[in-house]
Structure 1
Amino acid sequence: MSVFLTTSGQIIAPIVVLIGIGAILHRAFRLDMNTLSKLILYFFVPAIAFVKIYEAKLSFALLLQVIGFLLLQFVLLLILTEGISRLFRFSKGFSASFSNSVVLTNNGNIGIPVNDLAFRHDPLAMSIQIVVVVFEILVTFTFGLLKASAATKGLLGSIRHFFRLPVLYAIILGLLCNLLQLSVPDFLWVPAKQAANGMLAIALVSIGAQIASVALKKNTWLVVASSFLRLIVSPIVAYGVITLLGLDGITAQALFIASAIPTSRNSAALALEYNNEPEFAAQAVLVSTLLSTITLTLCISLAGSLFP
């Protein structure tokens, strides 16, 4: 019970509060959603991508293990969501948002504090979590962006659009600075760090604003299905992949917990940017975040006993 209360009170509750503030602000002032989307995609996301990649400190062996797990889990979840989309004949736009709501996770803003709490500041566990965050950033703004934009721009148009986004160059710059151990001047590092720290608030407020403008009952069963896949099926898939790869200890525990993190707020931002069922995407983020107060607690409890 104490773990449940701590996780809910210290991690999930503040996130829900920010979403609620966004909803209240939008009701009161009718926020410009297009401006919010541009601000997130072209400023805050490149900042957090650069900062997280630059700060990552990992051994090569650990990197290979974690990336192997993440790639295999990603492929299995993608096959599952694509199969469901074909079975129910979703439109291209809805298929893009549905897949992104399952395969893209909020392992930065939620996963990092969850990891810190569950493993009590263990440096190995946090190093694993940083790899997960970097992988999520790369997947979000390669696969996730191409999937979202292809529904409206077509594949060639979405590829051209991708190469115009600053996040790509932020990732490359972060990797180069990290690998070459280059020092970033304070006049650049301080604003980048401040922008990265502000990502959580602006992203969740924008999600709240999206939610305030739609009826929560729309596409209810699909929102529930998305949350079920993200919060229940994903950890089950993760358990199978961890067993297959022979991972154990803290590595296995950290990856298992990371697999249960709720839907990424970036999936909602991409849906809004490309008008791919933004109401569904916003609801998927909200519902999965709320339900994760229960499922995350269960996964944290199970991790130690499953992977001693």
Structure 2
Amino acid sequence: MSFFWITAQEIIAPIIVLIAIGAILHRAFRFDMNTLSKLILYFFVPSIAFVKIYEASLSPMLLVQVVGFLLLQFVLLLLLTETIGKLFSFSRGFRASFTNSVVLTNNGNIGIPVNDLAFRHDPLAMSIQIVVVVFEILVTFTFGLLKASAATKGLSASIRHFFRLPVLYAILLGLLLNLAQLDIPAMIWTPAKHAADGMLAIALVSIGAQIASVSLKKQTWLVLVSGMLRLAVSPLIAFGVISILGLEGITAQALFIASAIPTSRNSASLALEYGNEPEFAAQAVLVSTLLSTVTLTLCITLSSQLFPS
């Protein structure tokens, strides 16, 4: 019980506070949501992608194991959400937002502090979490972006748009500098770090602003279905994949916890940018974040019991 309250107070509560601040500020000043969305997509996201990839320290074996798990889990969740979308005849735009709300997670801003708290600064656990974060960045701004933009722009236009986004080149540059082990001058690294550190606040404030401008009663049952898939079904799938791959100990625990992280705020940013049911996307982020105060704590507790180190 004490661990539940520590997680809720130190990890989830600050996130809810920032979302609430965004809602209050938007009510008072009426932000330009289009400008806010572009600021996140074209400045803050490339900054955090570059910094996280450059800082990652990975062994080849760990990388193969973790990426194998993440790919298999991603494919299974994608098949599940696409099947649900076809069964319920979702529109193309809604299917894009629904799928992104399930397959894209907030493993950077929520997953990293959760990992740090759950494993008490264990370097192996954090290395695994960094791999997860890099994978999420790549999936978000390849699959997630193309899924969101193709619903309104078409596939060929979406591909052209993707190659104009700075996040792609930020990822490649960070990877090249990491592999080459080159030092970055302070005049570049310091502002990049400041921008990456500001990502959490600006992203969550923007979600709060989105939520303040829409009704939270729309598509309630679909929001709950999305939350259930992200917070309950995803860990069940993760358990199966971990068992199939024979992963054990801290590696299995860290991946199991990462699978229970709530919906990425980037899914809401993409929905807003491309006009794919932004009300649903914002609600999915909020509801999954709120519900994760319970589900994530349960998964942290279960991880050590299911996969003893």
TM-score by length of 1: 1.00
Aligned residue number for residue 286 of structure 1: 286
- Any gaps of 5 or more consecutive residues in structure 1? none
- Any gaps of 5 or more consecutive residues in structure 2? none
Distance 2:222 2:191 in 1: 39
Aligned residue number for residue 182 of structure 2: 182
Distance 2:280 2:36 in 1: 18
1:182 Cα offset (Å): 1.1
Aligned residue number for residue 13 of structure 1: 13
Please show how residues 225-240 of structure 1 align to structure 2 within 5 Å: 225-240=225-240
Distance 1:15 1:228 in 2: 20
Root-mean-square deviation over aligned CA pairs: 0.3
Letter in 1 for 2:112: I
1:51 Cα offset (Å): 0.2
Letter in 2 for 1:27: R
Letter in 1 for 2:76: L
1:71 Cα offset (Å): 0.1
Letter in 1 for 2:306: L
Aligned residue number for residue 299 of structure 1: 299
Distance 2:82 2:55 in 1: 34
Aligned residue number for residue 55 of structure 1: 55
1:230 Cα offset (Å): 0.1
SS in 2 for 1:107: coil
Distance 1:95 1:164 in 2: 25
TM-score by length of 2: 0.99
Matched, 1:212 2:229: no
Matched, 1:43 2:43: yes
Distance 1:216 1:3 in 2: 30
Distance 1:61 1:39 in 2: 37
Distance 1:89 1:191 in 2: 46
Aligned residue number for residue 272 of structure 2: 272
SS in 1 for 2:183: coil
1:60 Cα offset (Å): 0.3
Distance 1:307 1:219 in 2: 37
1:178 Cα offset (Å): 0.3
1:274-295 C-alpha deviation (Å, 9 max, x unpaired): 0000000000000000000000
Distance 1:161 1:36 in 2: 19
Aligned residue number for residue 108 of structure 2: 108
1:135-186 C-alpha deviation (Å, 9 max, x unpaired): 0000000000000000011000000000000000000000000001111110
1:118 Cα offset (Å): 0.2
Q: Size of the alignment, in residue pairs?
A: 308
Distance 2:86 2:40 in 1: 31
Aligned residue number for residue 70 of structure 2: 70
SS in 1 for 2:120: coil
Distance 1:34 1:171 in 2: 24
1:104 Cα offset (Å): 0.1
Distance 2:184 2:220 in 1: 47
Please show how residues 67-216 of structure 1 align to structure 2 within 5 Å: 67-216=67-216
SS in 1 for 2:57: coil
Distance 1:278 1:51 in 2: 28
Distance 1:128 1:19 in 2: 28
Distance 1:58 1:176 in 2: 14
1:98 Cα offset (Å): 0.2
Letter in 2 for 1:213: S
Distance 1:209 1:289 in 2: 16
1:210-262 C-alpha deviation (Å, 9 max, x unpaired): 00001100000000000000000000000000000000000000000000000
Letter in 1 for 2:255: L
Distance 2:217 2:253 in 1: 36
1:6 Cα offset (Å): 0.2
Letter in 2 for 1:59: S
Distance 2:194 2:307 in 1: 37
